[in-house]
Structure formats: structure tokens, C-alpha cells
């Protein structure tokens, strides 16, 4: 991590808005509809380039890919890790990290998950029901390549790529605690 003795380096965390054309293809992909994989890859690459340019232009020192190629981290886990299965319909608030908060603010989370599901895909709860292994090497390489290309167009202090841990988005039904 870069440090500065002159000032506080700035960044952000979270998804950045995706172009409508990317969202349309992403929606088809998420709903197992026919989609053009090459077009999807090109749209993600272009979207990463644009959000990196926007972050640099706004003065951020540490930029990310804006999570342009990911619908959400539930999809990320489903596509890149083994051992997880969907466990029904509805909001993914059974995971321990969200459960107490969702119970304390049920109206907010009903609205939150309702809006998110309408955007691209319904959020379906997941559970770990088998050994967890990483199988997303090719997708990760694509993410890294897209970000590297975009970084070639800007001057920033550093870049990072967001990832998640399954603990916060799926309940454990496999590993002894």
C-alpha cells in the first residue's frame, strides 16, 4: 500500500455505475439467456477503462475496476468458488454478517434487495455445502488484464481489485466451527 507524508491518499470502495448496454447483457447472462460472450467481454473492458478514467479525473489516488464485470459478490462466489449452492428465493440476509442488521432494519433491506434484484438479478441466499476451492483463475486474469489496460491510460498512485470472502454472503452448512 502506498503511503504519503504530504497528504491523505484518496480512494473509494464499492461498485460504480455500469453502462446500460453492459447491464442488458449482464442481465441476459445472469438469467441463462443467450448472450454474446465476446460482446460482454468488450463491454466490460470498455466500462473498466471508463471508470478508471473517471476516478483518475476526479482526483482519486487509488482506483479500482469499479466491479464492472461483477453483478454482485454472490455471483462472484457462485462463479469462482466451489462448495456453494443457492438455498431458495428471497434476500440473502441469512448470512451472519447481515442477519442482525437486516432484522433491525427490515423495511430498509426489503427495499434495498427489491431494487437490486430489479436491476440485474434477484439476490438468492447461498449456503456452503461442500469443500471451498477457488476455480476462477481465468476470470481473475481477465479482471487483472482489463484493469492493467485501463491503468495504462492514467497516472494514479495505486490500484486495487475488490474481492469478497464467503463468510459475509453465505451461511456455513459444511465446515465445523
**Is 73 contained in some domain?**
yes
**Is 108 contained in some domain?**
yes
Instruction: Map grid coordinates 476462477 to a residue.
Output: 136
pLDDT at 74: 81
pLDDT at 117: 54
- The x, y and z cell numbers of residue 69, run together, are 464485470
pLDDT at 148: 98
The HSE-up count of residue 135 (CA atoms within 13 Å, CB side) is 11
pLDDT at 98: 64
**Is 5 contained in some domain?**
no
**Is 15 contained in some domain?**
no
Mean pLDDT, each 10-residue run in order, the chain (177 residues): 88 90 92 94 98 98 96 86 83 58 82 63 82 96 98 97 81 91
Q: What is the CA radius of gyration of the chain?
A: 18
Relative orientation angle of helices 37-57 and 137-151, to the nearest 10 degrees? 40
**Is 11 contained in some domain?**
no
**Is 2 contained in some domain?**
no
**Is 104 contained in some domain?**
yes
Domain holding 57, by residue range, is: 20-172
Give the number of domains in the chain: 1
Strands 84-86 and 126-128: antiparallel
**Is 71 contained in some domain?**
yes
pLDDT at 128: 93
Amino acid at each position: 500500500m502506498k503511503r504519503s507524508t504530504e497528504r491523505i491518499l484518496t480512494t473509494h470502495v464499492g461498485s460504480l455505475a455500469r453502462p446500460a448496454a453492459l447491464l442488458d447483457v449482464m442481465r441476459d447472462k445472469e438469467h441463462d439467456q443467450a448472450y454474446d460472450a465476446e460482446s460482454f467481454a468488450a463491454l466490460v473492458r470498455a466500462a473498466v477503462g471508463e471508470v478508471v478514467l473517471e476516478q483518475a479525473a476526479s482526483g482519486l489516488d487509488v482506483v479500482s475496476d469499479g466491479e464492472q464485470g461483477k453483478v454482485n459478490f454472490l455471483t462472484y462466489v457462485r462463479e469462482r468458488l466451489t462448495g456453494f449452492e443457492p438455498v431458495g428465493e428471497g434476500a440473502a440476509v441469512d448470512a451472519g454478517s447481515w442477519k442482525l442488521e437486516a432484522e433491525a432494519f427490515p423495511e430498509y433491506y426489503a427495499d434495498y434487495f427489491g431494487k437490486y434484484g430489479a436491476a440485474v438479478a434477484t439476490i438468492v441466499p447461498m449456503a456452503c455445502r461442500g469443500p471451498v476451492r477457488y476455480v476462477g483463475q481465468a476470470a481473475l486474469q481477465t479482471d487483472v488484464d482489463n484493469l492493467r489496460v485501463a491503468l495504462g491510460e492514467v497516472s494514479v498512485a495505486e490500484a486495487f481489485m475488490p474481492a469478497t470472502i464467503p463468510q459475509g454472503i453465505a451461511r456455513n452448512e459444511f465446515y465445523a466451527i
